[in-house]
A and B are shown apart, each in its own frame.
Chain A
Amino acid sequence: MSALLEVRDLTQRFGGLVANANVSIDVRAGEILGLIGPNGAGKSTLFNAIAGVRKPTEGRISFQGRDVTDLDAPARCALGVARTFQVVKSFETMSVVENVMVGAFARTASAREAREKARGVLEFTGLGARENAMAQELTPPEKRRLEVARALATEPKLLLLDEAMTGLTPAEARQGVELVRSIRERGVTVVMVEHVMEIVMPLVDRAIVLDLGRVIAEGKPADIVRDESVITAYLGERHRARDA
């Protein structure tokens, strides 16, 4: 499999704080990649760098073989990178279908086409019945779905999910997992940031673990959960002691 996205030696400093240090990762076309790590590990920083929200202090990012380090978020969206937000950012005064249309306008100038496409995406994400509701009327899990729908409407090749399952009940999370699987079946590569291991591990093909801004482990979920450094960093000494 070829690398859809390559991050090379990415370093992000905020004043004296190093949020990412020499991070290099590859995202392969068609995979579901989990980006995990405890709070403050630098997941969101890396995520924002990939989405084009903030330029890295050092390092390069390339997408489909093209250097995109200097491109801003709208330009990366045009190339096929879409994202959701950890804290949902719905367009509150717009209806559900209008929210998704904003995404669809990335590929068409016609309002009619955008509306049709938005409806299709809403059906796919299970929000078809809510298309005329105002975004502010949605329940929290519905808002999470709306974020995904909006991002999908931009026809991404790479979808970045920022803790899309956080705050969901186990039943809702299961539906979320199904949605992510069906998104991948449509040919979209998925990178998901999560810190709830139980959700990510059964779903992802591969996981990358960050701690204190560095990549500390990378591999199949089954190997990752047995990795000593991951257990220490992520679950803490206490957990390892209990397992042993």
Chain B
Amino acid sequence: MAGSSHDSARRNNLILAICVAAAVACLPLVVKDVYIQNMLVLTLMYAALSQSWNILSGYCGQISLGHALYFGLGAYATLLLFTKFGVLPRFGMIAGGVIAAAVAAAVGYPCFRLKGHYFVIATIVIAEAGLLLMLNWDWAGAAMGIEVPVRGDSWAKFQFARSKLPYFYFALGLALVAWIVTWKIEDSRWGYWWRAVKDNAEAAESLGVVVFRSKMAAAAVSAFLTAVGGGFYAQFVSYIDPESVMSFQFSLLMALPAVLGGIGTLWGPAVGAAILIPITEVTRSYAGGTGKGFDLIVYGLLVMGIALGRPEGIVGAFSARKRAKTA
């Protein structure tokens, strides 16, 4: 029966995700090189971030190029709460998530009245405004930024000077959590409402979907998870300034893996990040002398390739082929 096939397809997906996570968890057994471990941490982090971005932009169809704002909010909230008030980073990340969700709702209130390109432009502008505010906010370090005070390696303080592995496992956990949240949402009322809003807002309204509230909910969930990733990144790099956590580049880096892998798909962000982030890191280190933008040029070429060849992304192309076979 089709009902059980739907359920079993979902269960198989979950089993696959757990197997992939378990396999990734074993990687440090063979990968001892710190440089590659570092790259793995970033890959997992971007998989989590892109998965979060995908909730608002992929499922609900509200393309945001301003997620650097929520990423930066998470990073700043975590470090400021720790350095100024002694709040442990794990609580700081949650607080950052809550603040980002509230800001997303406040930003969404005017912006969700805008459609299509106008909405995209508004997200860019608001993120840039956030960057400028942080650059001038003296209490938060302004352009100088803030540093994590060294307190010795511990999970409580979330700092590990001697090993990348704790960061690696946390990033893996974050990516898995973001994936599972998406997986849960996919077969929930919100998930179907969001996709309906993306496909046709007017039809959705006629079926009882309060479109505005749906977009707000998607934005809040998406911003929360993004900010937790930002808090993690701040601890990982242990020094942040506005440019290093809130610049436009982060907004792009969150969107591109999902676009490459398949926007609005469960696996797209992870697949996209697994391809994109290593390529960026490698081009950045081997072509480092050629100028800062080389990695972004490679990105651009990849995305152009996808746009021309497989606009639905890698995962989208794959599942379309599978459907054609079974049909």
Interface residues of A (CB under 8 A from B): 51, 53, 72-74, 77-78, 82-83, 85, 89-94, 97-98, 101-103, 105-106, 109-111, 114-116, 119, 131-134, 150-151, 153-154
Contact = CB atoms under 8 A, between A and B. Distances in A.
Contacts of A72: 205
Interface in B143-201: 187-189, 192-193, 195-196, 198-200
Interface in B225-255: none
A86 to B, nearest CB: 12
B209 interface: yes
B208 interface: yes
A150 B199 contact: no
A114 B6 CA distance: 13
A94 B2 contact: no
B200 A89 contact: yes
A77 B210 CA distance: 11
A104 B211 CA distance: 16
Contacts, number: 89
Contacts of B210: 74
A111 B203 contact: no
B208 A74 contact: yes
Given A93-B199, A93-B264, A98 B192 contact: yes
A193 B276 CA distance: 53
B3 interface: yes
Interface of B: 2-3, 6, 187-189, 192-193, 195-196, 198-200, 202-211, 264, 323, 327
Contact of A105 (B2, B189, B203): B189
Nearest to A93: B199
A151 B83 CA distance: 55
Given A91-B195, A93-B195, A115-B3, A77 B203 contact: no
Given A74-B210, A105-B208, A109-B189, A91 B200 contact: yes
Contact of B195 (A94, A111, A132, A154): A94
A114 B203 contact: no
Given A90-B200, A92-B199, A116-B3, A77 B206 contact: yes
Contacts of A91: 195-196, 199-200, 203-204
A98 B208 CA distance: 15
A137 B211 CA distance: 26
A189 B274 CA distance: 54
B206 A83 contact: yes
Contact of A114 (B189, B323, B327): B189
A73 B206 contact: yes
Nearest to B195: A94
A101 B210 CA distance: 16
A51 B195 CA distance: 22
A158 to B, nearest CB: 13
Contacts of B209: 74, 102, 105
Contact of A106 (B187, B203, B207, B264): B207
Contact of A73 (B193, B195, B205, B327): B205
Contacts of B211: 74
Contacts of A98: 192, 195
A43 to B, nearest CB: 17
A181 B203 CA distance: 24
Contacts of A111: 187-189, 192
B207 A150 contact: yes
Contact of B203 (A89, A110, A153): A89
16 contacts: A53-B206, A74-B209, A77-B205, A78-B208, A85-B202, A90-B203, A91-B196, A91-B199, A91-B204, A94-B199, A115-B3, A131-B2, A133-B327, A134-B323, A150-B203, A154-B207
